[in-house]
Amino acid sequence: MGLNLDDKKAVVAEVSAQVANAQTIAVAEYRGIEVGDLTALRAKAREAGVYLRVLKNTLVRRAIAETPFAGLSDQLTGPLIYGISEDPVAAAKVLNDFAKGNDKLVLKAGSYAGNTLDKAGVQALASIPSREELLAKLLGVMQAPVSGFACTLAALAKKREEEAAA
């Protein structure tokens, strides 16, 4: 059963609200995917903070019109699942990781920072470490000199104690 006009307006408003805060949209074809697999994909998307939904392409075109994602409109054909995220890499990463293990989910296109991406572009975006991973690496780099300095001080203090005792 199709959506009535009020339902369509509500879907467009919901998607528009998600797009207003989004940095990335990733799109994939889901033809032939099983319900259990789709449920697992949705769970992974929820964990990553990605808005994931199967939507009518015409409604998405209306929601992204006059936004930085408007260039994506030409790619919206066929049965598509949309991943929308505030994190620049989360949507691409969730769909790309799932597509590696399930050949029925095929990455199609995406959009980031006003640029329309093809399949290779979405895969490249997905390969970038997430913000949390980058912060963890930065913290490790920042702590290395401090911990090295602390170890040097401890060794120097121990040496002075041994010299004073002798």
Percent of the chain scoring above 70 in pLDDT: 99
Taking residues 9-30, what's their average pLDDT?
A: 90
Instruction: Report which of residues 132 and 97 the model is more confident about.
Output: 97
Instruction: Report which of residues 131 and 80 the model is more confident about.
Output: 80
- What dihedral do alpha carbons 89, 90, 95, 100 form, nearest 10°? 70
Query: With contact defined as beta carbons under 8 Å apart, do 28 and 80 qualify?
Result: yes
Give the integer Cα–Cα distance in Å for 4 and 26: 27
Residue 142 exposed, middle or buried by CB count within 10 Å (0-12, 13-18, 19+): exposed
Q: Tell me what pLDDT residue 52 has.
A: 92
Give the integer Cα–Cα distance in Å for 140 and 134: 10
Query: With contact defined as beta carbons under 8 Å apart, do 18 and 84 qualify?
Result: yes
Instruction: Place 126 in a pLDDT band, splitting at 50, 70 and 90.
Output: confident
In this predicted structure, the answer to whether residue 1 has a pLDDT above a threshold of 60 is no
Instruction: Place 153 in a pLDDT band, splitting at 50, 70 and 90.
Output: confident
pLDDT (tens digit, 9 = 90+) per residue, 131-152? 777 778 778 777 777 777 777 7
Query: With contact defined as beta carbons under 8 Å apart, do 48 and 126 qualify?
Result: no
Predicted model pTM: 0.75
The DSSP element (H or E) to which 133 belongs, if any, is helix 131-165
Residue 109 exposed, middle or buried by CB count within 10 Å (0-12, 13-18, 19+): buried
